[in-house]
Amino acid sequence: MSNIPWWKTSVIYQIYPRSFQDTNGDGIGDLRGIIDRIDYLQWLGIGAIWISPIYPSPMVDFGYDVADYTDINTIFGSMADFDELLLQAHQRNIKVIMDFVPNHTSDCHPWFVESRRATSSPKRDWYIWKDAKPDGSPPNNWRSVFGGSGWEWDAPTRQFYFHAFHKAQPDLNWRNNDVQEAMFNVMRFWLDRGVDGFRVDVMWHIIKDELFRDNPPNPEYKESQPPYDQLLPVYSTDQPEVHDIVAQMRQIADGYGDRVIIGEVYLPIQKLMEYYGPNNEGAHMPFNFLMLRLPWHAPEIAAAIDQYEGALPTEGWPNWVLSNHDNPRIASRVGEAQARIAAMLLLTLRGTPTIYYGDEIGMRDVAIPLEEQQDPQGLNMPEKNLSRDPCRTPMQWSADEYAGFSKVQPWLRVDKKYPRINVQQQQNDAYSMLTLYRKLVQLRNDEPALNHGTYTPVYSNDQFIAYRRDAPGADSFFIMLNLTSRPCRYSQPPSDTLKGQVIIATAPEAEGMDIEKDIYLNGDEGIVIRLTAP
Ligand code: GLC
């Protein structure tokens, strides 16, 4: 297995650092907190952590507004803490993936402060500045993802600047070579320090139409959608030139050997695949967000897996995501019972799984009263229920006050259910979500068929999906998942009956059961069968 890169065989765990573990008593998580919990991650079997941004930042978008790319925010600790975390992680064979935010900086970044100073500033062209139209309106109709126009008027210099997100997050001009070089140097800075790769923020936004043409209206827009969706962002995102930039990022990472570039890309499958680059010289893995959006129905899920597998370029390595810090948690979308099925799916499909912190104990979105809300996306459009705060609440470690996350009132409220939904309680419970996750992660780590073998769909209908995983010279596995709450049956074809034993089941009572003909599952049940060699 040694010739297979770690990012293919490892399970990635996303840490939202503000909410993972507070050690200095300010109610906000920190790097020392991650260090303190690294043994837990090792126990779980995690191979890599991706940490959401920890750079100096005014925190308008909770760190995705970077004011200095090569330092650590004092809220989270110091560079010495970071080096210590890297060391402790590496000693446990856990890789560390940084969050790289190349599309925009904070408006407090010295580059923007300088750029804003005067139209004649040597850094003016580092950002996207444009004159108003003759009637004083913005240069085009592009919108901000966080609501309203994407253009902000700068009265002193009498021009607009573009921001795809918050107005405190001005977009960099990636058509400027000095910007490219400065950002590539940021990557080198962290790679030199020893990080194992980057999750690249909004990769598909990085470069814009050179002519700044208006985006067309979206004929399918519905009132319930975010206002951003009123237009199709065909000129403000996913431009052909982006692939050249991604390829350069890849080259830099590859220059260090054994590092990874993961792209955040929300696009339909065919478009997404382009981010692997021609000849697989783009991102190692553009994130696959299919499961974040699909209705939880067996036929849709089965079809999406096949479409994704079928569309992958040769050599393109798949990956799967169930939740992240921008979307509702899996347990909130599909319910507790199906969240167990989702875990089994995530960890037995072909491709690198990313677990969002807390999903392994079945954490759910927490209702945050309006007066406690902090996410700018939610605050800018209060009537649309778009706040991302609910999925960012503090990790529930124990039944202690504030769930063992902090000794003081945390920055965001803790789920009131923490006294019964927490790591400590679940570690000692054979039936818990955490025990299920751990068994699945360990099996995946140990079994070649699961961590790099082939995927073959076997059967699916309105209720369940079944597939197998095989690798030469290793045990094969058959996975059957009931995506409904009613019992179901798989009648094996007599000509091709598989035999084996259930080794992991969402209802552990089924573990050890021999399978030799029809397979019956209760509602919300899933099983992993180790096949007996024919
Ligand atoms: C990405 C991040 C999100 C952030 C946005 C702007 O989508 O995941 O949290 O708000 O980029 O940086």
HEC assignment per residue over 351-405: CEEEEECCHHHCCCCCCCCHHHCCCHHHHHCHHHCCCCHHHHCCCCCCCCHHHHC
Ligand 1 centroid to 440 CA: how many Å?
Answer: 29
Closest CA to 326 of 165, 95, 106: 165
Residue nearest to atom 12 of ligand 1 (CA): 64
Q: What is the pLDDT of residues 479-527, one digit of tens each?
A: 999 999 999 999 999 888 899 999 999 999 999 999 999 999 999 999 9
Tracing tokens 């995705």 back to the chain, one arrives at 64
Ligand 1 centroid to 165 CA: how many Å?
Answer: 8
Could you tell me the two tokens for 214? 């208006």
The whole-model pTM stands at: 0.98
Ligand 1 centroid to 201 CA: how many Å?
Answer: 6
In 10 A of CB 178, how many CB atoms? 13
Average pLDDT over residues 270-277: 98
> Is 1 a residue whose pLDDT tops 60?
no
Q: What is the mean pLDDT of the chain?
A: 97
The answer to whether the CB of 66 falls within 8 A of the CB of 111 is no
Q: What's the CA gap between 480 and 472, in Å, rounded?
A: 22
> Is 141 a residue whose pLDDT tops 60?
yes
Q: What's the CA gap between 280 and 246, in Å, rounded?
A: 11
- Quote the pLDDT of residue 496: 84
- Quote the pLDDT of residue 2: 63
Q: What is the pLDDT of residues 55-105, one digit of tens each?
A: 999 999 999 999 999 999 999 999 999 999 999 999 999 999 999 999 999
- Quote the pLDDT of residue 433: 98
Q: Which residues sit with their C-beta closer than 6 Å to ligand 1?
A: 61, 64, 101, 165, 201-202, 264, 325-326
pLDDT-based confidence at residue 294 (cuts at 50, 70, 90): very high
Ligand 1 centroid to 145 CA: how many Å?
Answer: 10
Q: What is the pLDDT of residues 174-230, one digit of tens each?
A: 999 999 999 999 999 999 999 999 999 999 999 999 999 999 999 999 999 999 999
Share of the chain above pLDDT 90, in %: 98
Closest CA to 191 of 247, 256, 251: 256
- Nearest ligand 1 atom to alpha carbon 388: 9
> Is 239 a residue whose pLDDT tops 70?
yes
Could you tell me the two tokens for 419? 């006294």
Ligand 1 centroid to 216 CA: how many Å?
Answer: 24
Positions marked catalytic: 201, 264
Closest CA to 405 of 17, 22, 10: 22
The answer to whether the CB of 127 falls within 8 A of the CB of 170 is yes
Burial 263-273 (b: 16+ CB within 10 A, else e): bbbbbeeeebb
The answer to whether the CB of 527 falls within 8 A of the CB of 504 is yes
State the maximum Cα–Cα separation within the chain, in Å, rounded to a whole number.
Answer: 79
> Is 52 a residue whose pLDDT tops 90?
yes
- Nearest ligand 1 atom to alpha carbon 164: 6
Q: What's the CA gap between 429 and 425, in Å, rounded?
A: 7
Residue nearest to atom 3 of ligand 1 (CA): 326
Tracing tokens 């470690």 back to the chain, one arrives at 397
Strands (E), 103-208: 129-130, 151-154, 159-162, 197-200
Average pLDDT over residues 138-153: 98
Instruction: Give residue 399's region: left, alpha or beta (phi > 0; psi -120 to 50).
Output: alpha
> Is 241 a residue whose pLDDT tops 70?
yes
Task: Report the residue among 59, 202, 354 best suited for mutation to probe ligand 1: largest number of ligand atoms under 8 A from its CB.
Answer: 202
Q: What's the CA gap between 79 and 86, in Å, rounded?
A: 10
In 10 A of CB 10, how many CB atoms? 23
The answer to whether the CB of 149 falls within 8 A of the CB of 162 is no
Average pLDDT over residues 329-337: 98
> Is 533 a residue whose pLDDT tops 90?
no
Q: What's the CA gap between 195 and 86, in Å, rounded?
A: 7
Residue type, 403: A
- Quote the pLDDT of residue 534: 73
- Nearest ligand 1 atom to alpha carbon 64: 12
Task: Report the residue among 103, 162, 165 best suited for mutation to probe ligand 1: largest number of ligand atoms under 8 A from its CB.
Answer: 165
Q: What is the pLDDT of residues 415-432, one digit of tens each?
A: 999 999 999 999 999 999
- Quote the pLDDT of residue 3: 87
Task: Report the residue among 201, 236, 292, 327 best suited for mutation to probe ligand 1: largest number of ligand atoms under 8 A from its CB.
Answer: 201
Residue nearest to atom 4 of ligand 1 (CA): 64
- Nearest ligand 1 atom to alpha carbon 324: 8
- Nearest ligand 1 atom to alpha carbon 166: 6
> Is 387 a residue whose pLDDT tops 70?
yes
Tracing tokens 């030469």 back to the chain, one arrives at 472
Question: DSSP letters of 478-511?
Answer: EEEEE-SSS-EEE---GGG---EEEEEESSGGGT
Ligand 1 centroid to 533 CA: how many Å?
Answer: 47
The alpha-carbon radius of gyration of the chain (Å, integer) is: 24
